[in-house]
Amino acid sequence: MSEKATITLEGKNFELPVITGTENEKAIDITKLRDLTGYITLDSGYKNTGATISQITYLDGETGILRYRGYPIEQLAEKSSFLEVAYLLIYGTLPTTDQFDDFSKKITRHTLIHEDMKRFYEAFPKKAHPMAVLASMLCTLSTFYPESQQTNRPWEEVETTVHRLLAKISTISAWAYKNSVGHPVVYPQNKYNYVENFLNMMFSMPTEQYEIDPVIVQALDKLLILHADHEQNCSASTVRMVGSSHANLYSSVSAGAIALWGPLHGGANQEVIEMLQKIQADGGNYKKWVEKAKDKNDSFKLMGFGHRVYKNFDPRAKIIKKACDDVLNKLGINDPILDLAKQLEEVALNDQYFVERKLYPNVDFYSGIIYKAIGIPTEMFTVMFAMGRLPGWIAQWKEMIAAKEPIGRPRQIYTGETERNYVPIAKR
Ligand code: CMC
């Protein structure tokens, strides 16, 4: 007999089904709760609420496990490539050689963006944050491909949107940077692979061809893999929520980019470097800043620390910390910021406040140091996260549409005024 949960309300018992995932995760299915009992559940920030049933990513925050489609993140980061991982997330299986070649070719074919889009770049202020530019441009793509706005399109047609998005995000992102520094944009070139192409568009100049360094390509590819999906996080949930109203895929991932931008989510990587630079400029007294982070009367938080689901360690942070050492060694860079980060981590990890709350370095703590070492400007850090996360957003959107999930529409408990009569302004 399948397991049931019994809930007692106002002296009556109600039975609700229990759902068990393939990794033995358990949930009480409350889909019928309101119909049966008149009650809803309340869970601010969805800390205990499963929003969907998913086959994409498995994450165990207690033991620090992260797997895409069953494959451990450690193996993928070491042996795979970002495009292969993108295929895995979106299609559910690792590609054969033919499938991978076809997928890569299609993405390469779509890297150019419409010339008319250049006019948007010209209109943005030079100081525009590249995340604002990225999100705007992702949504703008839907105006160039209006057929994407039709609902219930067959997957073969949606697939072109998927290829376009994966291809164009690197051009859009690199051009956002070029625009911010007032340099001419660099067009994509088919001879390069995904990461090489991005680096070339970022750093080549009319005066000087950028020399592609395999150490940098490898490091960036690894970072993109580590960011590729993270189950029902804030931005993926946003993509699913927006997509559930049948908004098109371009707009749905644009909304995801905006959710990612916030400093509590992907925006933390920029905040981490800025925090470390601030501590360094303040004389490097990191202990003082740890004390500030603990002080409830101080709004300062240790950026790059803590996670909603990881309560032991963030497996991505572990891989990135090692990659960070490797990259800096190989490039011969001695960045005092890395030493500061390590000292800060050491103090925080041994401090009762952080131990009790299970606060550990997350993916963003060390990623900024690698981005900095390979020349990515600070304001572009979250854009790099978005480029990595795009296949995850697409996979989450695809799964949600395929499952014909209903429109996302939470309920609430109202605590405002009860009914009262309108009083004309002269009588108030
Ligand atoms: N520094 C100091 N105290 C912290 C921190 C921090 N970074 N993070 C959490 N706490 C404290 C928090 O004040 C609370 O204390 P108390 O129980 O005394 O009220 C306790 O730890 C639990 O924190 P919470 O805010 O209830 O936890 P949450 O799950 O709602 O938030 C978080 C998770 C990631 C938003 C939060 O830890 C945070 O703001 N961290 C800094 C920002 C950051 O690094 N974000 C990137 C997350 S990883 C990238 C991604 O996947 O998005």
Give the nearest ligand 1 atom to 265 CA. Answer: 52
CA atoms of 352 and 245, how far apart (whole Å): 45
Task: Name the closest-CA residue to atom 35, ligand 1.
Answer: 264
CA atoms of 228 and 290, how far apart (whole Å): 31
- 88 touches 261 (CB < 8 A): no
Give the nearest ligand 1 atom to 304 CA. Answer: 44
2 pLDDT above the threshold of 80: no
Task: Name the closest-CA residue to atom 14, ligand 1.
Answer: 357
Ligand 1, pocket-test mutation among 57, 229, 305, 310, most atoms within 8 A of CB: 305
The pLDDT tens digits for 231-271 are 999 999 999 999 999 999 999 999 999 999 999 999 999 99
CA atoms of 287 and 303, how far apart (whole Å): 15
Where does the pLDDT of residue 117 fall: very low under 50, low under 70, confident under 90, or very high at 90 and above? very high
**pLDDT at residue 1 in the model:** 56
Task: Name the closest-CA residue to atom 48, ligand 1.
Answer: 362
Let me know the angle formed at the C-alpha of 318 by 68 and 46, rounded to the nearest 5 degrees.
55
Distance 368 CA to ligand 1 centre (A): 18
Distance 308 CA to ligand 1 centre (A): 7
**pLDDT at residue 313 in the model:** 87
User: In the beta sheet, which residues pair with residue 4?
Assistant: 17
Task: Name the closest-CA residue to atom 45, ligand 1.
Answer: 264
Distance 286 CA to ligand 1 centre (A): 19
Distance 19 CA to ligand 1 centre (A): 29
Helix (H) or strand (E) holding 68: strand 65-68
Distance 131 CA to ligand 1 centre (A): 22
Distance of CA 234 to the CA centre of its chain: 8
Q: What percent of the chain is predicted at pLDDT more than 70?
A: 100
CA atoms of 203 and 370, how far apart (whole Å): 16
Find the residues whose C-beta lies inside 6 A of ligand 1.
45, 230, 233, 264-266, 268, 293, 301-308, 357, 359, 362-364
Which two structure tokens, joined as six digits, stand for 331?
């490039």
**pLDDT at residue 397 in the model:** 97
Which two structure tokens, joined as six digits, stand for 195?
């990461």
DSSP-assigned letters across all residues of 301-358: --TTB--SS-SS--HHHHHHHHHHHHHHHHHT---HHHHHHHHHHHHHHTSHHHHHTT
Quick check: helix, strand or coil at residue 249? Answer: helix
Catalytic residue among 229, 265, 307, 314: 307
Q: What is the mean pLDDT of the chain?
A: 95
DSSP-assigned letters across all residues of 160-208: HHHHHHHHHHHHHHHHHHHHHHTPPP----TTS-HHHHHHHHHH-BTTB
The pLDDT tens digits for 141-175 are 999 999 988 888 899 899 999 999 999 999 999 99
Q: What is the mean pLDDT of residues 341-352?
A: 91
Q: What is the mean pLDDT of residues 172-193?
A: 95
Task: Name the closest-CA residue to atom 41, ligand 1.
Answer: 303
The pLDDT tens digits for 313-346 are 899 999 998 888 888 899 998 888 888 988 999 9
44 pLDDT above the threshold of 90: yes
298 is catalytic: no
CA atoms of 288 and 278, how far apart (whole Å): 12
**pLDDT at residue 28 in the model:** 97
- 222 touches 74 (CB < 8 A): no
**Where is average pLDDT lowest: 8-17, 133-142, 171-180, 367-376?**
367-376
Domains defined for the chain, CATH in brackets = 4-50 (2.20.28), 94-263+381-402 (1.10.580.10), 268-373 (1.10.230.10)
**pLDDT at residue 311 in the model:** 86
**pLDDT at residue 118 in the model:** 92
pTM over 0.85: yes
CA atoms of 218 and 402, how far apart (whole Å): 34
364 is catalytic: yes
Strands (E), 254-307: none
Distance 361 CA to ligand 1 centre (A): 11
**pLDDT at residue 275 in the model:** 94
The pLDDT tens digits for 98-109 are 999 999 999 999
Task: Name the closest-CA residue to atom 39, ligand 1.
Answer: 264
